[in-house]
Amino acid sequence: MFVGESTEQALRDIYPYYARYLSPETNGGRGWRVDQAQMSSLAARRGALMVGGPAQIAEKVLDLHGQLGVDRFLGQVDFGGMPRQMVRDSIARFGEIVAPAVTHVLDKAVQPA
């Protein structure tokens, strides 16, 4: 999971770390290479990769709740040698923007009309 300032910035900034994380040469090898287009496809709305701006990540978490009924989200926040500040900023955006937005939507959905 990586929450960037915007979706475009998140995709651009995280790619080298995601590619390194998946690379066959890393930590005994995960076995495949991914290019920017493949990663972007995985990060699209219905994709499994939680990379994007705060609004996109909130949307994806809400999709998971709506489709699967999940009430918890666990994301791997540090991979591929990401700099500490990059990890901190992503966690901060999740906690300060994404989580409150998701909570707001879900709270509104359960309030009586």
Phi-psi region of 27 (alpha: psi -120 to 50; beta: other; left: phi over 0): left
Give the pLDDT confidence of 54-85 residue by residue, as tens digits: 999 999 999 999 999 988 889 999 998 999 99
* Number of structural domains the chain divides into: 1
Domain coverage including residue 103 = 2-110
Give the pLDDT confidence of 14-63 residue by residue, as tens digits: 999 999 888 877 666 667 889 999 999 999 999 999 999 999 999 999 99
